[in-house]
Amino acid sequence: MHAVVLDHEVDWQGFRRAARLLALRRIPPEHVVWSVRELDDLFGEPVAELPADNSSAEGAFRVPRGLVQLAQTVIQAREPARFSLLYGLIWRVVSGARHLMEQITDPEVDRANRLAKSVRRDTHKMRAFLRFRSVQDEDVVRHIGWFEPQHFIVEANADFFVRRFAGMTWLILTPYRCAHWNGQDLAFTDGARLEDVPKDDRIADYWQVYFASIFNPARLKISAMTSEMPRKYWKNLPEAALIPALIAGSAVRTQKMIEEPTVSPAKPTLRVFRPVDPVPNSPLSQARVAASQCRRCALHGPATQTVFGEGPIDAAIMLVGEQAGDHEDLDGRPFVGPAGQLLDKALAEAGLDRSQLYVTNAVKHFKFELRGKRRIHGKPDISEIDACRWWLDIERAQVAPRMTVLLGATAGRAVLGRAVAVLKERGMPLRLARGMAVQTVHPSYLLRLPENADKAREYKLFVDDLKVAASMAGPISGSSFKQER
Amino acid sequence: MELLDKLAILADAAKYDASCASSGTEKRNSLEGGIGSTEGSGICHAYAPDGRCISLLKILMTNACVYDCLYCINRRSSNVQRARFTVAEIVTLTMGFYKRNCIEGLFLSSGIIRSPDYTMEQVVEVARCLREDHGFRGYIHLKTIPDADPALLATAGRYADRLSINVELPSQEGLDAFAPEKDLPGIRRSMGRMRLAIDAAKDKGAPRFAPAGQSTQMIVGADASSDRQILSMSTNLYGNYGLRRVYYSAFSPIPDSSASLPPAAAPLLREHRLYQADWLLRFYGFTDDELATGADGNMPLEMDPKLAWALAHREWFPLDVNTALREELLRVPGMGVRSVDRILVARRHRRLRLDDLARLRLSLPKVSPFVVTADHTPRLIDATCLVAKLPQRRAQQMSLFH
């Protein structure tokens, strides 16, 4: 029989060293007796002392990381058998059960996992329910707290309080161990008594008032409270003293609210602060305001907002895209997402300045389908294009561009009123009732090209189309345009 | 007015907001100075007898408000006593409670006074003062005001962990009837702006913006909105704006309430079902049109929504726990995400039996009618008496008054 005497309840280093030596000597768990501080169980037979640690000479073995972490938690459990349980697991792993930790329905693994869970819960409850009292000691303010942990968690948990309250001087008292922090160093001493904790200052009364006021008597759910804040913690929580009275008074308070005479609502003052839009002074800005309330098709429902066109009202060139995309829907402006960035680059290469163009979409709400957390772009159908043409026609009539660039088939359909074959008709001048048009692809087509496609060539064709449009539009007035937003 | 009295009024005024989370933000500590820490998971420092956790100091800056939202205790036409904190008072309370380990931080909201910009400025000033003047590293959740200047929103996002705007009701029609000053498109635009800023802040070197994201709340049972309307709105808000959470708040009687509201106990069970459904949407692969399929657009109150779905889709069952896919197991009543993941690990090493499921802390009465294990095949899956055999929860919520 081998005996191991650990220095204290959570002597991790001692446990680790002993377990390693025992396993290397192939001493099975049933031949080891573990105890803390003094040998408390003798079997009569002489107990073998553990030899000095020279494991490097004797060879080493590896224990899975998951088991090490589990052991560091379980060693804190208030359970005398924890050391033999843990050594038993190590023994089995060393003896070949390499995936033991995954066998979570194994009785010993399950037992260790349950102990670990209990320790973690206790650790969490200490972080939650420890209350500091603030005490003025000469020039120093000290914060002193009392907690009665179920397990031996003070040492491992003290770091949490250091990270949180590093700038304070604090002292955590528990029946088995106390932690002291002076702003620099952490020290542990033996356990203390509740009487050692001094009285608090006035903020403690404020906390009680807060607790009573945040409680809603009309939704009493006592079991929901006690499952998370079991009664055993109440005696050290100052606010818990209020609970019986709050519960007792809740029915009467609620009944009173229900029976009390009601008040008629005041006359609504409609949208008090909404900045009153300055009276729109042009048909285009009137249309912009009206379009923000548009319900001409169902697309407005799930979308954020109408994304109206923007740019100078006297622009020589108008760009018409397909529909507002994901980013545009959130931002409220056309062509600001990835396709918009590509468009800006291509425009620059074609010698065009976006700020001098009127940029809009055939469909002004984002059509999408939700798949998980992602909004997948949906293609607008003809009825939606037709419903939205109302706004596009106003934009075209007001801006009256010399050149309209049709980005993609939807734009072609909306402006030309017929199905277009984009790749066949691209780059050719088209005559409109007023002005000219050039059909090209939508920039998102370039973004979606398959990996093996000739992206550079497609991009160049797009820029070429834009150049055709630019040259046909003639000189772009840069002098007197007004920004229409 | 004494600070203590203000605290009583302005905490009472804030308690109808269900949000309490203090989790999911960046990791911070005070080892390099300041005070406070955030380590990922939130901490509930106390629980009130209403079962709600107390994690943050949840108060209004003022309960004076120019809006007249019928369901709100702080509406303009209510005769409730009014109070207003100064910035310094809120900072004192936050730091005082935090140092006593009573809270994770502050959740500050406000009635709207003077103008949205003025109100928002005051709210943001509290956060600035906590962060910059007091080195506060704890959690800050700010309620934002839809019509406020976007520049104020950007400042709010720099100091806050979480921002939120409550939609309160799932349709503009509902808002028109109950909260005439509230404008759903304006709320959506603000949420859209916040999403863009939150997403942009994830890039390296980008300015900090609300690392714990945004959330919202809907009130349940004040207007006639059905569960289906509410869940479809939630689905839309999660998808459009990447919300971390939608909170559901059972409308509870308030003092001095409006004649247009139901004078009834809070529909707590309905609220609970909505939270269950919300989890099914976010973590279990359900879609809103699979739930709330009742003729009235509501979910049954007497059973949880997953069980209701399973009883209506018995052709899915029984499922073999030793071979079924993860997404199939997630649809078994009584199985949570964690249990399913543990089953997937455990079954690599042995054919699972009923007592293995018990060791995985599953409730056998709930689960066993729907699953096959190495030693068990259910027999009642197509029997009408199956419902009666399952563990029951009382259909009616306990009445306080009868």
User: Distance between CA B225 and CA B251 in Å, rounded?
Assistant: 12
A245 and A329 share a domain?
no
User: Distance between CA A303 and CA A124 in Å, rounded?
Assistant: 42
For A96, residues 6+ apart whose C-beta sits below 8 A from its C-beta are: none
* Contact call for residues B46 and B53 (beta carbons, < 8 A): yes
Quote the radius of gyration of chain A (alpha carbons, Å). Answer: 37
Backbone angles phi, psi at A314, to 5 degrees: -105, 30
CB pairs under 8 A between A and B: 279
- Per-residue confidence (pLDDT) for residue B365, from 0 to 100: 92
Contact assignment for A263 to B240 by CB distance below 8 Å: no
Give, in degrees to the nearest 5, the angle at Cα B399 between B394 and B402. Answer: 125
Residue with tokens 């120019």: B66
The reply to whether A354 falls in a domain is yes
B381/chain A closest Cα distance in angstroms: 27
The reply to whether A64 falls in a domain is yes
A243 and A352 share a domain?
no
Q: How many domains does chain A have?
A: 4
The reply to whether A480 falls in a domain is yes
Residue B286: other Cβ atoms inside 10 A: 20
User: Distance between CA B145 and CA B142 in Å, rounded?
Assistant: 10
Buried-exposed string A61-99: b where 16+ CB fall within 10 A, e elsewhere: eebeeebeebbbbbbbbbbeebbbbbbbbbbbbbeebee
Q: In whole angstroms, what separates CA A366 from the centre of its chain?
A: 25
* Structural domains present in chain B: 3-266 (3.20.20.70), 305-389 (no CATH)
Backbone angles phi, psi at B305, to 5 degrees: -65, -30
Domain-ending residue, one of A159, A179, A196: A196
Contact assignment for A330 to B252 by CB distance below 8 Å: no
Q: Which of A145, A259, A265 sits opposite B77 (nearest CB)?
A: A265
- Averaged pLDDT score across all residues of chain B: 92
For A64, residues 6+ apart whose C-beta sits below 8 A from its C-beta are: A93, A98, A101
A325-339 residue pLDDT tens? 999 999 999 999 999
3-state secondary structure of A359: strand
CATH number at residue A457: 3.40.470.10
Contacts of residue A251 in chain B, CB cutoff 8 Å?
Answer: 400-401
User: Distance between CA A144 and CA A136 in Å, rounded?
Assistant: 11
- Residue A166: in which H helix or E strand, if any? none
Q: Which of A132, A213, A218 sits opposite B101 (nearest CB)?
A: A132
User: Which of the residues in chain A have pLDDT under 50?
Assistant: 270-271, 478-485
Contact assignment for B253 to A254 by CB distance below 8 Å: yes
Taking 3-state DSSP, the helix, strand and coil percentages for chain A, each rounded to the nearest 5, stand at 45, 15, 40
Contact assignment for A105 to B44 by CB distance below 8 Å: no
- Per-residue confidence (pLDDT) for residue A333, from 0 to 100: 97
Residue with tokens 């169902």: A298
Please classify residue A439 by burial: count the beta carbons closer than 10 Å to its beta carbon, then call 0-12 exposed, 13-18 middle and 19+ buried: buried
Contact assignment for A129 to B97 by CB distance below 8 Å: no
- Residue A168: in which H helix or E strand, if any? none
Q: Which of A168, A217, A268 sits opposite B99 (nearest CB)?
A: A168
Work out whether the CA dihedral A369, A371, A372, A375 comes out positive or negative: negative
A172 and A214 share a domain?
no
Contacts of residue A332 in chain B, CB cutoff 8 Å?
Answer: 189, 192
B384/chain A closest Cα distance in angstroms: 32
- Per-residue confidence (pLDDT) for residue A275, from 0 to 100: 53
* Structure tokens given for A413: 């359909």
Mutate to test the interface with B, among A101, A105, A201 (most CBs of B within 10 A): A105
A376 and A434 share a domain?
yes
User: Distance between CA B350 and CA B344 in Å, rounded?
Assistant: 11
* Contact call for residues A210 and B103 (beta carbons, < 8 A): no
- Residue A171: in which H helix or E strand, if any? strand A169-173
- Per-residue confidence (pLDDT) for residue B106, from 0 to 100: 98
Please classify residue A180 by burial: count the beta carbons closer than 10 Å to its beta carbon, then call 0-12 exposed, 13-18 middle and 19+ buried: middle
User: Distance between CA A479 and CA A356 in Å, rounded?
Assistant: 10
* Structure tokens given for B60: 């209004």
Q: In whole angstroms, what separates CA B356 from the centre of its chain?
A: 34
A315 and A445 share a domain?
yes
User: Distance between CA A313 and CA A283 in Å, rounded?
Assistant: 11
* Contact call for residues A85 and A108 (beta carbons, < 8 A): yes
For residue A218, which of B38, B360, B401 has the smallest C-alpha distance?
B401
Contacts of residue A292 in chain B, CB cutoff 8 Å?
Answer: 185
Quote the radius of gyration of chain B (alpha carbons, Å). Answer: 23
Contacts of residue A325 in chain B, CB cutoff 8 Å?
Answer: none
A398/chain B closest Cα distance in angstroms: 27
* Structure tokens given for A367: 């059509």
A152 and A234 share a domain?
no
- Per-residue confidence (pLDDT) for residue A282, from 0 to 100: 87
Contact assignment for A124 to B43 by CB distance below 8 Å: yes
* Contact call for residues A157 and A123 (beta carbons, < 8 A): yes
Q: In whole angstroms, what separates CA B362 from the centre of its chain?
A: 26
The reply to whether A425 falls in a domain is yes
Contact assignment for A105 to B253 by CB distance below 8 Å: no
Whole domain around residue A47: which residue ranges?
2-124
Mutate to test the interface with B, among A129, A173, A219 (most CBs of B within 10 A): A219
Residue with tokens 């208030």: A78
B92-131 residue pLDDT tens? 999 999 999 999 999 999 999 989 999 999 999 999 999 9
In sequence order, the β-bridge partners of residue A323 are: A363
Contacts of residue B78 in chain A, CB cutoff 8 Å?
Answer: 263
Domain-ending residue, one of A109, A124, A139: A124
B102/chain A closest Cα distance in angstroms: 7
For B144, residues 6+ apart whose C-beta sits below 8 A from its C-beta are: B120, B153, B156, B163, B164, B165, B190, B194
B382/chain A closest Cα distance in angstroms: 30
B369/chain A closest Cα distance in angstroms: 21
Which range, of A237-246, B271-280, B393-402, averages the lowest pLDDT? B393-402
Q: In whole angstroms, what separates CA B33 from the centre of its chain?
A: 32
The reply to whether A292 falls in a domain is yes
For residue A51, which of A92, A102, A112, A2 has the smallest C-alpha distance?
A2
For residue B157, which of B214, B115, B99, B92 has the smallest C-alpha distance?
B214
User: Distance between CA B52 and CA B21 in Å, rounded?
Assistant: 11
For B175, residues 6+ apart whose C-beta sits below 8 A from its C-beta are: B168, B169, B182, B183, B184
Is the link from the previous residue into B318 a cis peptide, with omega within 30 of 0?
A: yes
Using the 8-state DSSP alphabet, how is residue A172 labeled? E
* Contact call for residues A357 and A319 (beta carbons, < 8 A): yes
- Per-residue confidence (pLDDT) for residue A143, from 0 to 100: 94
- Per-residue confidence (pLDDT) for residue A481, from 0 to 100: 41
Q: Which of A204, A260, A273 sits opposite B255 (nearest CB)?
A: A260
A172 and A305 share a domain?
no
B308/chain A closest Cα distance in angstroms: 22
Contact assignment for A263 to B77 by CB distance below 8 Å: yes
Contacts of residue A257 in chain B, CB cutoff 8 Å?
Answer: 253-255, 257
User: Distance between CA A90 and CA A350 in Å, rounded?
Assistant: 70
DSSP H helices, A186-301, are 203-214, 222-228, 243-259, 283-291
A142 and A107 share a domain?
no
* Structure tokens given for A328: 């545009």
3-state secondary structure of A460: helix
A463 and A339 share a domain?
yes
Could you tell me the pTM of the whole model?
Answer: 0.92
Domain-ending residue, one of A196, A218, A233: A196
The reply to whether A104 falls in a domain is yes
A171 and A227 share a domain?
no
3-state secondary structure of A234: helix
For residue B122, which of B156, B154, B172 has the smallest C-alpha distance?
B156
A325 and A431 share a domain?
yes
Contacts of residue B216 in chain A, CB cutoff 8 Å?
Answer: none
3-state secondary structure of A443: helix
Residue of B nearest to A169 (CA): B99
Contact assignment for A160 to B39 by CB distance below 8 Å: yes
DSSP H helices, A356-454, are 382-399, 409-416, 422-425, 443-447
The reply to whether A239 falls in a domain is yes
User: Distance between CA A234 and CA A229 in Å, rounded?
Assistant: 8
Q: Which of B76, B255, B264 sits opposite A266 (nearest CB)?
A: B76
Contacts of residue A172 in chain B, CB cutoff 8 Å?
Answer: none
Q: Which of A145, A262, A272 sits opposite B258 (nearest CB)?
A: A262
A36 and A100 share a domain?
yes
In sequence order, the β-bridge partners of residue A404 are: A318, A437
SS3 per-residue string spanning chain B: CCHHHHHHHHHHCCCCCCCCCCCCCCCECCCCCCECCECCCCCCCEECCCCCEECEEEEECECCCCCCCCCCCCCCCCCCCCCECCHHHHHHHHHHHHHCCCCCEEEEECCCCCCHHHHHHHHHHHHHHHHHHCCECCEEEEECCCCCCHHHHHHHHHHCCEEECCCECCCHHHHHHHCCCCCHHHHHHHHHHHHHHHHHCCCCCCCCCCCCCEEEEEEECCCCCCHHHHHHHHHHHHHHHCCCEEEEEECCCCCCCECCCCCCCCCHHHHHHHHHHHHHHHHCCCCHHHCCCCCCCCCCCCCCHHHHHHHHCHHHCCEECCCCCHHHHCCCCCCCHHHHHHHHHHCCCCCCCHHHHHHCCCCHHHHHHHEEECCECCCCCCCCCHHHHCCCCCCCCCCCCC
Contact assignment for A218 to B253 by CB distance below 8 Å: yes
